């Protein structure tokens, strides 16, 4: 039978690896978004569209799974934190996609014979952008659900945040409000726990 210290060491290493993975995946998602596709066409660097698409698909699914399985004690606030970070980091990308799609559509409308082909280029770009938005919103969905189950957020508020995360622009403001709500709820719960234990309140050490 495996001794208790060995089990504790193994469990500790497993938790440390998982902590690294859940931090690395959102960062890898951001790096993948800016690694090619429209940047390859506009600036001439990064990966081509097929490679970029496959890379985004793999990392996007990995992030969605990570958001779904993160059930640790502090997961609601952490998920909301990464939700907000991803939304912020995606703003330049969406700006480029808008300008890129507008430029292509304008050219196609001007050049004879390409008018009818414009929707077949613009619509896939918009659809791809929306799918990327939903991938980042998975952190907001998970944060809202976890927070409600743990009594940090009323169910009605969670439903509103989940609904808003399906819409561009609104998802960013919802992510910001959600993080602030969970940050405040965490502080209140921590202060209540310290008060009940008879210990003086301490300032939180982390930013998540």
Higher pLDDT, 139 or 106: 139
Judged against a pLDDT cut of 50, whether residue 136 lies above it is answered with: yes
Is 198's pLDDT higher than 70?
no
Confidence check: pLDDT of 208 > 80: no
189 within 8 A of 77, measured Cβ to Cβ: no
Among residues of the chain, what percentage have pLDDT more than 90?
Answer: 61
Q: Does residue 195 form part of some domain?
A: no
Structure tokens at 13: 């290493």
| CA dist., res. 76 & res. 95, Å (int) | 29
Structural domain of residue 101, as residue ranges? 10-188
User: Is 183 inside any structural domain?
Assistant: yes
**Higher pLDDT among residues 192 and 198, named by residue:** 192
Residue range 95-108, pLDDT digits in tens: 999 999 888 888 88
Indicate whether 194 belongs to any domain: no
pLDDT digits (tens, 9 = 90+) for 87-135: 999 999 999 999 998 888 888 888 877 777 778 888 899 999 999 999 9
Q: What is the pTM of this model?
A: 0.84
Q: What are 60-70's pLDDT values in tens digits? A: 999 999 999 98
- CA-closest candidate to residue 140, choices 73, 66, 70, 81: 81
Q: Is residue 1 part of a domain?
A: no
Rounded Cα distance, 89 and 82, in Å: 10
**Residue 108 forms part of a structural domain:** yes
**Model confidence at 47: pLDDT above 70:** yes
pLDDT at 8: 56
Residue 4 lies inside a defined structural domain of this protein: no
Query: What is the count of structural domains for the chain?
Result: 1
pLDDT for position 203: 57
Q: Does residue 199 form part of some domain?
A: no
Specify if 197 maps to a domain: no
- Give the ranges where 34-117 is alpha helix by DSSP (H): 38-43, 49-69, 75-110
């Amino acid at each position: 039978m495996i001794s208790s210290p060995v089990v504790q060491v193994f469990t500790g290493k497993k938790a440390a690896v998982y902590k690294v993975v859940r931090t690395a995946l959102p960062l890898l998602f951001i790096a993948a978004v800016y690694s090619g596709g429209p940047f390859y066409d506009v600036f001439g660097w990064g990966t081509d569209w097929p490679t970029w698409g496959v890379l985004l698909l793999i990392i996007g699914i990995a992030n969605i799974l990570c958001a779904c399985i993160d059930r640790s004690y502090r997961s609601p606030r952490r998920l909301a934190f990464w939700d907000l970070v991803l939304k912020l980091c995606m703003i330049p990308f969406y700006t480029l996609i808008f300008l890129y799609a507008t430029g292509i559509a304008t050219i196609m409308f001007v050049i004879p014979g390409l008018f009818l082909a414009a929707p077949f280029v613009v619509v896939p770009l918009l659809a791809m952008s929306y799918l990327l938005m939903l991938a980042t919103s998975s952190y907001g969905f998970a944060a809202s659900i976890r927070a409600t189950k743990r009594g940090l957020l009323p169910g009605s508020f969670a439903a509103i945040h989940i609904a808003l995360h399906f819409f561009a622009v609104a998802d960013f403001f919802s992510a910001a409000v959600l993080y602030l709500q969970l940050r405040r709820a965490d502080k209140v719960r921590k202060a209540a726990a310290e008060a009940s234990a008879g210990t003086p309140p301490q300032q939180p050490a982390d930013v998540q």
